[in-house]
């Protein structure tokens, strides 16, 4: 703990150099020391930092910004500061502080002792319980120029885990309250200037015209011009600030939206169509526009209202009452339609969602649609959804037309009525054309905000629906992949399932029933069974995709549920039947953004996956651009790229789920020939329908209807497991017939 009150110590060593010197003598590089210091400081707050999360260009010591990002991404509060010795000595921190030393290393300050003017530092590379040593100002300032990283457990961005709602968004906007205050001040100034301008006109009409005073006219003209300039300036500022607030809120909302999207479990994406997710997420933009647009303007108008109303009352109370009553009638007209509008709106929104799903599905599935000639059916589906959405939209607009139709004459009536009544009053009480004119001009500023308020409530329906829509995505429970949670053991790769029962949510039958088996570390295991027998389900449980199972899944004896989810998945290499290619070069796709990997690793992984040969034949080799669905990569090549991508970080456990089933016999033979090399030093779990590629596995698990039928090497299973024998015979019969028909092909050349 860093606290000014120092504990009573048994021995009082003399202050000297920080223990970093000893560490660097032990052969630890300064950069390493930096990382160790931060990891030790984070550990104090119960967070295990993962080096994979740290991004910094290699070759130089990681800079404070990168380190702070690293800490923050792991769920800590962190800040990089430059401080003097005397700030350090007065620091009241709730944990260790990391000083970044000039040589690229770091010192871990665990305690400060203001009385003796020294800090206590601990060797970052040593065990947690080593005794700290005191360091004085002279020794420390020789090594340290003030760069410091402060960190503590994050009390959480309050809005981080709150449900997505208007309040949540409002709070996001509220973070910019300083700007908001500025915007409001600008608005107030503008209102004042408007009022002043109008009062000047009053003066002109009353005094100048009556007394033919050219001097006053000159003055007033000057004042009007000045007021105009100021108003233009404040108007500019207000718009500028509003833009800034809008952009900042936008940025924050987008960040948070993406964070939540990435945090959702895979089964959410399996339950929901991409089109519908995109459509619902799109509503966030509308809510944000509403908040920084309509709500803001209405609030600003309300400021105007609050200022104009008393002045109007001073000018003429009767007219003020008339204005207010007219405005309220308008509000009532608008509000009376809200209920009906809401009902129609909900129907319209649902129809729009169906429409967008049809569109996205058609674009995504265009290959299937074209190859099966399904265009007419898709067109019909589109026509129908379009017609439905269009119908509801029309109804909605029809409905919205009513309040507008009713309110507009009221507005005209109000301004003309005020004129007529005003004239009548002035006929009775003596002529005062100026005040009536000013009143007319100002009264527009009363009805406008009040009607605006009513429209706000009307739009609220729309927005509440948008919040609900976006909420169905944003408020889904995320996976528990919180950084800093769970164990991060270094895996050897032993896997065990003990009496695992699992059924998919909503499914009637069990996908896995009393499944038990052991896979020793470093061994290779095949997983076979008919389609739907639960092979992929086993791999999904292992990756922590589905976590609501009964029984135990253990890796190296640790319960899967106690392991940090991100760490777990990073320790695996997984290749599925279909793999996504990101837009970028071949090299980028294989590295996939993992830190600290170079072209040498890429080439090694590509060679292991049997991809090297075709990559080198590509026009720009490893720098060839590819993307999802790009025609320059065939199905088999793409599969080999995926294998290389899974292998590059040298995972302890490799899962291949039908990874080679899309390959042509030649590429499959290539990968299979490499499998022995790929498997070297790791645990392999291979799901395959082609039993011939599994014969060399250490053991094969036979599944049927979610149950383990037998476990053993190929030879034993052929003899004793009927299910396996049947599968084997089916395939070899086919292969036998091939062998007689085309002996050359069987040799695999
Ligand atoms: N996401 C899911 N949601 C609901 N049920 C699922 C899901 N995935 C699989 N199932 C069901 O679980 C059972 C086992 O499926 P699994 O995908 O594990 O089979 P598999 O052995 O991998 O089959 P295949 O060889 O066809 O890939 C099947 O009955 C399947 O319908
Ligand atoms: Mg499967």
pLDDT tens, residue by residue, 63-100: 888 888 888 877 788 888 898 888 888 887 778 889 98
Q: 501 pairs with which residues across the strands?
A: 550
Q: Could you identify the atom of ligand 1 that is nearest to the CA of residue 577? A: 27
Q: What is the CATH number of the domain that holds 499?
A: 3.40.50.300
What pLDDT is recorded for position 468?
Answer: 87
What pLDDT is recorded for position 491?
Answer: 85
Ligand 2 centroid, distance to 703 Cα (angstroms): 12
pLDDT tens digits along 440-451: 777 777 777 877
Encode burial over 616-637: b for 16+ CB neighbours within 10 A, e otherwise. Answer: eebeeebebebeeeeeebeebb
Which of 110, 129, 153 marks a domain boundary? 153
Ligand 1 centroid, distance to 501 Cα (angstroms): 14
Give the highest mean pLDDT range of 307-321, 379-393, 481-495. 379-393
Tokens standing for 440? Answer: 């007319």
Which of 474, 504, 533 marks a domain boundary? 474
Nearest ligand for residue 272 CA: 1
The rounded distance, in Å, linking the Cα atoms of 27 and 31 is 12
- What order do you get walking across the sheet with 106-113 strand by strand? 76-82, 144-153, 97-101, 106-113, 118-122, 133-136
Is the Cβ atom of 546 under 6 angstroms away from ligand 1?
Answer: no
The rounded distance, in Å, linking the Cα atoms of 146 and 648 is 39
Contact residues for 90 (Cβ-Cβ < 8 A; gap 6+): 4, 112, 114
What pLDDT is recorded for position 22?
Answer: 52
What are the CA-CA distances from residue 84 to residues 90, 110, 137, 146 (Å)? 10, 17, 10, 6
The rounded distance, in Å, linking the Cα atoms of 409 and 411 is 5
pLDDT tens digits along 402-412: 888 888 888 78
Mark whether 102 and 239 lie in a shared domain. Answer: no
| Domain annotation covers residue 613 | yes
Percent of the chain with pLDDT over 70: 91
Ligand 2 centroid, distance to 532 Cα (angstroms): 7
Q: Which of 257, 206, 200, 9 shows the shortest CA–CA distance to 110?
A: 9
Provide mean pLDDT across the span 19-34.
67
Nearest ligand for residue 506 CA: 1
Mark whether 399 and 518 lie in a shared domain. Answer: no
Boundaries of domain holding 195:
166-474
Encode burial over 683-700: b for 16+ CB neighbours within 10 A, e otherwise. Answer: bbbbbbbbbebbeebbbb
What pLDDT is recorded for position 635?
Answer: 78
Tokens standing for 732? Answer: 């070899």
Mark whether 447 and 527 lie in a shared domain. Answer: no
Mark whether 559 and 696 lie in a shared domain. Answer: yes
Mark whether 170 and 148 lie in a shared domain. Answer: no
- β-pairing, 106-113 vs 97-101, is antiparallel
Distance in Å from the first CA to the final CA of the chain: 69
Q: 107 pairs with which residues across the strands?
A: 99
- Run of H or E residues at 61: none
Which of 153, 186, 204 marks a domain boundary? 153
455/59: higher pLDDT: 455
pLDDT tens digits along 177-203: 888 888 888 888 888 888 888 788 777
Is the Cβ atom of 536 under 6 angstroms away from ligand 1?
Answer: yes
**pLDDT greater than 90 at residue 173:** no
Provide mean pLDDT across the span 467-486.
78
Tokens standing for 120? Answer: 């206590």
**pLDDT greater than 90 at residue 515:** yes
Contact residues for 187 (Cβ-Cβ < 8 A; gap 6+): 234, 238, 300, 303, 304
Q: Label each residue of 21-54 as H, E or C.
A: HHHHHCCCCHHHHHHHHHHHHHHHCCCCCCHHHC
Sign of CA dihedral 478, 484, 486, 487: positive
| Domain annotation covers residue 283 | yes
Query: Please, which contacts does 375-382 make with residues 24 or more away whose CB atoms are closer than 8 Å?
Result: 382/355, 382/358
What pLDDT is recorded for position 481?
Answer: 57
**pLDDT greater than 50 at residue 483:** yes
Q: Could you identify the atom of ligand 1 that is nearest to the CA of residue 706? A: 14
Ligand 2 centroid, distance to 60 Cα (angstroms): 45
What pLDDT is recorded for position 6?
Answer: 42
pLDDT tens digits along 233-261: 988 988 888 888 888 888 888 888 888 88
Mark whether 66 and 214 lie in a shared domain. Answer: no
- Run of H or E residues at 264: none
- Run of H or E residues at 634: none
Percent of the chain with pLDDT over 90: 15
Ligand 2 centroid, distance to 577 Cα (angstroms): 8
- β-pairing, 699-704 vs 584-585, is unpaired
* Domains: count for the chain: 3
Ligand 2 centroid, distance to 377 Cα (angstroms): 30
Looking only at Cα atoms, what is the longest distance across the chain? 121
What pLDDT is recorded for position 110?
Answer: 86
| Domain annotation covers residue 107 | yes
Which protein residue has the closest C-alpha to ligand 1 atom 30? 532
What pLDDT is recorded for position 687?
Answer: 93
pLDDT tens digits along 627-659: 777 777 887 888 888 989 998 888 899 999 988
pLDDT tens digits along 44-70: 887 777 777 777 766 677 888 888 888
| Domain annotation covers residue 482 | no
CA dihedral (366, 369, 371, 373) in degrees, to 10, reads: -140
Is the Cβ atom of 578 under 6 angstroms away from ligand 1?
Answer: no
What pLDDT is recorded for position 710?
Answer: 92
| Domain annotation covers residue 485 | no
Provide mean pLDDT across the span 314-337.
84
Q: Label each residue of 141-206 as H, E or C.
A: HHHEEEEEEEEEECCCCCCCCCCCCHHHHHHHHHCCHHHHHHHHHHHHHHHHHHHHHHHHHHHHHH
Mark whether 217 and 334 lie in a shared domain. Answer: yes
Ligand 1 centroid, distance to 284 Cα (angstroms): 34
Tokens standing for 264? Answer: 């959702």
The rounded distance, in Å, linking the Cα atoms of 466 and 462 is 6
Q: Could you identify the atom of ligand 1 that is nearest to the CA of residue 658? A: 27
Nearest ligand for residue 538 CA: 1
The rounded distance, in Å, linking the Cα atoms of 749 and 746 is 8
Mark whether 402 and 550 lie in a shared domain. Answer: no
What are the CA-CA distances from residue 260 to residues 77, 161, 479 (Å)? 19, 9, 10
- Run of H or E residues at 643: helix 635-647
- Per the listing, tokens 């050349």 go with 749
| Domain annotation covers residue 678 | yes
Q: Which of 516, 496, 506, 505 shows the shortest CA–CA distance to 706?
A: 516
The rounded distance, in Å, linking the Cα atoms of 294 and 171 is 17
Mark whether 64 and 193 lie in a shared domain. Answer: no
User: Rg of the Cα trace of the chain?
Assistant: 36
Q: What is the CATH number of the domain that holds 244?
A: 1.20.1560.10
Per the CB < 8 A criterion, the answer to whether 217 and 205 are in contact is: no
**pLDDT greater than 80 at residue 695:** yes
**pLDDT greater than 90 at residue 554:** yes
- Run of H or E residues at 113: strand 106-113
Mark whether 668 and 692 lie in a shared domain. Answer: yes
What pLDDT is recorded for position 410?
Answer: 82
Residue 744: pLDDT band with limits 50, 70, 90 = very low
| Domain annotation covers residue 147 | yes
**pLDDT greater than 80 at residue 725:** yes
What pLDDT is recorded for position 13?
Answer: 54
Q: What is the CATH number of the domain that holds 113?
A: 3.90.70.10
pLDDT tens digits along 387-429: 999 999 999 899 888 888 888 888 788 778 877 887 887 777 7
Nearest ligand for residue 532 CA: 1
Give the highest mean pLDDT range of 20-34, 157-171, 579-593, 694-708. 694-708
- Run of H or E residues at 139: helix 137-143
Which protein residue has the closest C-alpha to ligand 1 atom 9? 537
Which protein residue has the closest C-alpha to ligand 1 atom 16? 534
> The whole model's pTM is what?
0.70
Mark whether 145 and 207 lie in a shared domain. Answer: no
As a whole number, the mean pLDDT across the chain is: 83
The rounded distance, in Å, linking the Cα atoms of 511 and 497 is 14
Per the CB < 8 A criterion, the answer to whether 467 and 163 are in contact is: no
What are the CA-CA distances from residue 187 to residues 178, 200, 307, 459 (Å)? 14, 20, 11, 23
The rounded distance, in Å, linking the Cα atoms of 239 and 187 is 10
Tokens standing for 604? Answer: 């090694």
Mark whether 707 and 574 lie in a shared domain. Answer: yes
| Domain annotation covers residue 479 | no
């Amino acid at each position: 703990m860093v606290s000014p009150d120092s504990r009573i110590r048994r021995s009082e060593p003399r202050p000297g150099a920080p223990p970093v010197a000893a560490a660097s003598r032990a052969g630890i590089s300064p950069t390493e020391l930096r990382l160790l210091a931060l990891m030790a400081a984070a550990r104090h707050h119960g967070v295990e930092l993962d080096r994979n999360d740290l991004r910094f260009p290699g070759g130089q010591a990681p800079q404070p910004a990168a380190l702070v990002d690293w800490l923050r991404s792991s769920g800590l509060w962190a800040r990089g500061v430059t401080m003097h010795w005397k700030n350090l000595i007065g620091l009241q921190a709730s944990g260790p502080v990391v000083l970044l030393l000039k040589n690229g290393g770091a010192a871990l300050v665990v305690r400060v002792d203001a009385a003796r003017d020294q800090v206590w530092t601990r060797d970052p590379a040593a065990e947690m319980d080593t005794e700290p040593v005191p360091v004085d100002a002279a020794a420390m300032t020789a090594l340290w120029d003030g760069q410091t990283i402060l960190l503590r457990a994050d009390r959480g961005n309050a809005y981080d885990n709150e449900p997505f709602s208007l309040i949540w968004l409002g709070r996001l906007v509220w973070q910019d309250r300083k700007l908001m205050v500025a915007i409001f001040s600008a608005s107030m100034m503008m209102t004042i200037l408007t009022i002043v301008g109008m009062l000047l006109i009053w003066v002109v009409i009353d005094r100048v015209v009556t007394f033919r005073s050219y001097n006053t006219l000159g003055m007033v003209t000057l004042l009007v011009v000045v007021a105009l300039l100021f108003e233009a300036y404040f108007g500019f500022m207000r718009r500028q600030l509003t833009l800034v607030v809008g952009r900042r809120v936008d940025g924050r909302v987008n960040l948070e939206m993406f964070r939540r999207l990435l945090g959702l479990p895979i089964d959410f994406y399996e339950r929901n169509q991409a089109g519908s997710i995109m459509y619902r997420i799109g509503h966030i933009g509308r809510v944000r526009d509403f908040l920084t647009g309509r709500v803001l303007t209405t609030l600003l108008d309300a400021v105007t209202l609050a200022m104009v109303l008393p002045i109007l009352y001073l000018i003429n109370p009767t007219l003020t009452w008339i204005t207010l009553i007219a405005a309220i009638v308008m509000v009532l007209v608008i509000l009376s339609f809200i209920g009906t509008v809401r009902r129609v709106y909900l129907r319209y929104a649902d129809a729009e969602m169906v429409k967008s799903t049809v569109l996205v599905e058609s674009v995504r599935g265009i290959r299937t649609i074209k190859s099966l000639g399904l265009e007419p059916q898709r067109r019909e589906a589109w026509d129908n959804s379009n017609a439905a959405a269009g119908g509801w939209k029309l109804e909605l607009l029809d409905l919205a037309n009513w309040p507008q139709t009713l309110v507009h004459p009221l507005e005209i009536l109000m301004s003309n009525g005020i004129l007529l009544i005003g004239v009548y009053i002035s006929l009775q009480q003596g002529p005062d054309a100026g005040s009536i004119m000013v009143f007319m001009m100002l009264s527009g500023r009363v009805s406008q905000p009040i009607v605006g308020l009513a429209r706000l409530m009307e739009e609220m329906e729309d927005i509440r629906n948008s919040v609900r829509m976006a909420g169905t995505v944003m408020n889904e429970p995320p996976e528990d992949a919180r950084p800093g949670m769970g164990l991060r053991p270094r895996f050897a790769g032993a896997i065990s399932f003990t009496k695992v029962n699992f059924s998919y949510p909503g499914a009637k039958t069990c996908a896995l029933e009393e499944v038990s088996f052991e896979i020793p570390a470093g061994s290779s295991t095949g997983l076979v069974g008919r389609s739907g027998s639960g092979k992929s389900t086993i791999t999904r449980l292992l990756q922590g995709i589905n976590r609501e199972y009964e029984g135990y899944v253990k890796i190296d004896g640790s319960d899967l549920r106690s392991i940090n989810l991100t760490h777990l998945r990073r320790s695996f290499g997984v290749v599925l039947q279909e793999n996504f290619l990101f837009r970028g070069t071949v090299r980028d796709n294989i590295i996939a953004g993992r830190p600290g990997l170079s072209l040498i690793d890429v080439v090694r992984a590509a060679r292991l996956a049997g991809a090297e040969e075709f990559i080198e034949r590509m026009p720009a080799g490893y720098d060839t651009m590819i993307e999802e669905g790009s025609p320059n990569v065939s199905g088999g090549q793409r599969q080999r790229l995926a294998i290389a991508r899974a292998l590059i970080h040298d995972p302890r456990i490799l899962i291949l789920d039908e990874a080679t089933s899309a390959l042509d016999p030649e590429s499959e033979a290539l990968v299979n020939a490499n499998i022995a090399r790929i498997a070297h030093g790791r645990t392999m779990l291979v799901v395959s329908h082609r039993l011939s590629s599994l014969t060399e596995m250490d053991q094969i698990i036979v599944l049927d209807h979610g149950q383990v039928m037998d476990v053993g090497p190929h030879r034993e299973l052929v003899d004793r497991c009927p299910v396996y024998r049947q599968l084997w015979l089916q395939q070899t019969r086919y292969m036998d017939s091939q062998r007689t028909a085309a002996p050359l092909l069987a040799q695999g050349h």
